[in-house]
Chains A and B, each alone.
Chain A
Amino acid sequence: MSETRTQAYTVRLELVDEPGELLRALEPIADNGGNLLSIFHERGNVTPRGHIPVEVDLEATPERFETIVEALRDAGVNVVQAGQERYSEELTIVLVGHLVDTDLSDTLSRLRTETNSRVADLSLSAPEGTDDESSARLRLKTDQGAVGETLQAVRTVADEKDLRVIEPLATGGGV
C-alpha cells in the first residue's frame, strides 16, 4: 500500500438554491475517500447569478483530491476554486496588556510576517477605554505542525510589547 500523506484542501463551490443541492455536492467527496473537515454555507450571500457560495474544507491524498474535483464536475457541480489550503492548523490565544498603546495593527502584522500564520479572527475587549489594559482573542491559522513555532514567535512579539499571552493548553487537544 502506498503511503501518501493526506493534505487539507479548500474547494469553493457555487450551488443552485434548490433542496438537496448541498448533499449532491458532498457525495462525490465522501464517495472518493475525502475526509470532510468543515462546510461553510453562505446562504445569505448569493452570487450575481443567483447561486449560493459554499466553501468546503477537506482532507485527502493529492491523487484522491484530483479524483474528487473531477467527480464534482462530472456531477454537474460548479467548482469555482480547488486548491490546497495553506493554513491547516488553528490556535486560539488571548493577549492581555496595553494592546492599543502598543499598536495593535503592528502586533497583528508582525504575527503574520514572523509566525508564518494568519489572524483568522480577532475580538478586542477594552472595557476601560483604549488607554488602559485590554484583552484580545486571536484565532491564528498556521501550517500543519507549526503550532509550537507559531507560539514561540507570539511569545517573542508579546514580550517586546510587554503583553501577556494566555496560551491554549496542549497543542493538539488538551480536553
Chain B
Amino acid sequence: MRLAIAGAGAVGSSVAQLAGDYGHRVTAVADSSSAAIDPDGLDVDAVLERKDSEGAVGTADPGDALETDYDVLVEATPTTLGDAQPGFGHLQRALQRDRHVVLANKGPVAERYGEVMALAEDSAGEVRFEATVGGAIPVLSTIEDYGPETITAARGVLNGTANFILSRMAAEGLDYEHVLAEAQDLGVAEADPSFDVEGTDAALKCVILANVLSDGREYTLEDATVEGIEAIPPSALELARGDGRTIRLIGEVAGGEIRVGPRLVPEQADLAPSGTRNIVQLETENAGRLNLSGRGAGGPETATAVLSDINRLTRAVP
C-alpha cells in the first residue's frame, strides 16, 4: 500500500519508519507547515532527519500531500476537540477521493462519529481507528471480531500518565505535584498534562468505544461524565490501601452511559495495573469477561495499531 501520513509527531514518524518493514511505501509526509512528497516512495530517514534538523519535513505545501498518489491516509495530527480540525478535513478529503483512512487522531471519531461514518458510507474507502483506543492493544478489532452487539460493557484504565501518577503516589506516599513533576522528567507526562490528568483523554477513548458499541446513537465528549485525578491527596490512597484497595482512573461504558473518574478497586484487581500500562475489560454476552492489556501509548506501539489497521484494509480490498 502507498501511505500518505498527516502529522509527523511520535506516531506519524513511527508509522513512516516502520512502514517499509510491513511492506508499504510512504508517498507523502506532512507536518503542520510543510510536506515531503514523492509518488515513487520517500526516503523516510532523510525526511525525518530534516524534520529533526530544520523543523520541517520538506518544502512542499502540506495541503498537496493529500492530493498526491496514495492508497491510505494515516491521520496522525494532534487530537482536537469540537470540530476535530484539521484531522476531520483530512479524512473528508481522502474519503472523497475514495481513499482509505486510518486514524491515530481521536478527534474525528470522538466528536463527529456520525459524519465520519456517513462519509465512509459514500466512499469506496474505509475508515479504521484501532490506534485511537488503548495504543497497541487490539481493542476495536476484538470488538469487531466478537461483534459489537455481543459486548455488554467496556471499562478500563485508558490513560498511562494518570495511571503512572496514581500508582507512584500509592507506592511511595508522595503527593500529586511531586509525582507529576517526576512523570514530566521521565517523559511520561507532557509539559501541559491537563488532557491526561483531567480525564479528557480517557473520556475520548470511552466515547469512541461507546460509538463503536452503540446501536445507532452517536456520542461525543459532551455525553461523558468526567472527573480527573488532580484533587486526590496521598491520604486517600493511604486509606484505600489500608483496606486492600487502591485508586485508579477508570473509564466505563455501559447502558448508554460514559463515565470517567477515580475509583476504588482492589489492589490486586486486573483494573489496577501499575505504571503506564493500560487495560480494557470487555463484558461479553457469551464468553464472560475479557481482559486486554498492554502499552497504551508511545510512537512505535501506536504505530503498530495503525499498521495492523492497514493490514486489515489490505485484506478487505480486492
| Interface-located stretch among B87-95, B191-199, B226-234 | B226-234
For B263, the chain A residues whose CB sits under 8 A away are: 166-169
B262–A166 touching, CB < 8 Å: yes
Please, how many angstroms separate the alpha-carbon atoms of A65 and B28 in the complex?
76
Interface size on A, residues (CB 8 A): 22
B233/A167 in contact, CB under 8 A: no
In-complex Cβ contact of A175 among B231, B235, B252, B269 (8 A): B269
How far apart are the CA atoms of A168 and B243 in the complex, in Å?
Answer: 12
Instruction: Specify which of A123, A133, A170 is in contact with B239 (CB 8 Å cutoff).
Output: A123
The number of chain B residues with a CB under 8 A from chain A is 26
- Given known pairs A93-B264, A175-B269, the reply for A164 and B231 (CB within 8 Å) is yes
B243 lies within 8 A of A92 (CB): yes
Contact in complex: A94, B265 (CB < 8 Å): no
Question: B231 to chain A: which residues have CB within 8 Å?
Answer: 96, 164
SS class of chain B's interface: helix, strand, loop or mixed?
mixed
Of all chain A residues, the one with the shortest Cβ separation from B254 is A170
A interface SS class: strand
Q: How far is A134 from B234 in the complex, measured between Cα atoms in Å?
A: 10
**CB <8 Å contact, A166 and B235:** no
> B250 at interface (Cβ–Cβ under 8 A)?
yes
18 A–B contacts, CB within 8 A, in A order: A92-B243, A94-B247, A96-B233, A96-B236, A125-B239, A134-B233, A135-B239, A166-B240, A166-B264, A167-B263, A167-B264, A169-B155, A169-B250, A174-B265, A174-B266, A174-B271, A175-B266, A175-B268
Tell me the A residues contacting B by CB distance below 8 Å.
Answer: 92-94, 96, 123, 125-127, 133-137, 139, 164, 166-170, 174-175
5 smallest CB-CB distances across A and B, nearest first, come from A125-B235, A137-B239, A135-B235, A135-B236, A169-B263
Given contacts A94-B236, A167-B264, A169-B264, could you give 6 more A-B pairs where the C-beta distance is less than 8 Å?
A92-B243, A125-B236, A125-B238, A167-B261, A169-B265, A174-B265
